[in-house]
Structure 1
């Protein structure tokens, strides 16, 4: 590889990082909503799979509907934590795979 090839690779990596950042911003700004049980449960989520709001129809709680908001908040927190843990596990697996693939290559200054 000559210097020109390294410069092109570095430029391509920079462009890829910029595109990834733009995509993450778009995903964060995107919201979707889904229901189940004929509308008994409604979930609003952003494009990064973070639960923004959970709504449970109060009629499913019967006479104990005063705890409904707390239950909704606890479910949202648990779903988001599970999502973070799944993402962490995927990142860890991907890093292990990439480390194995790139382990035999020499370090190239400016690309990390």
Structure 2
């Protein structure tokens, strides 16, 4: 039987391992690029899986002054599409880390 000190030490090591895995996963999420699109591809926004906007691409055909309102709506829609996809990808990646660490499904970590 292990002593209480050995069990505490093992728990601390496990917590450190999980913390490291979570930090690594967060780093990977920022490297994953997701693209959101709107207007049949006329507006595109690239974002990281953490939600950082990497770039915006607007088709030249939308640059007429009379189309300003439509363009603004499409940019917002593309950003929201990218954010939704980024959130889903982030959730999948974090679930992989939790499963690898033996954390039960549905357990919420404070990260």
- TM-score where L is the length of structure 1: 0.52
What is the match of residue 7 of structure 1? 9
What is the match of residue 26 of structure 2? 24
Partner residue of 1:52 out of 51, 54, 64: 54
Residue correspondence of structure 1 range 1-112 to structure 2 within 5 A: 2-63=4-65
The alpha carbon displacement at 1:60 in A equals: 2.0
> Over aligned residue pairs, what C-alpha RMSD do you find?
3.3
Q: Secondary structure at the residue paired with 1:38?
A: helix
The alpha carbon displacement at 1:17 in A equals: 0.9
Mind listing any 5+ residue stretches in structure 1 that lack a counterpart? 66-70, 80-97, 99-112
The alpha carbon displacement at 1:11 in A equals: 0.4
Q: Secondary structure at the residue paired with 2:41?
A: coil
Aligned residues: 75
Deviations 1:36-74 (A, max 9, x none): 111121010112121111122232230589xxxxx8xxx
Q: Give the 4+ runs in structure 1 shifted more than 4 A.
A: none
The alpha carbon displacement at 1:22 in A equals: 1.1
Q: Which has the higher contact order (CA 8 A, sep 6+)?
A: 2
- TM-score where L is the length of structure 2: 0.52
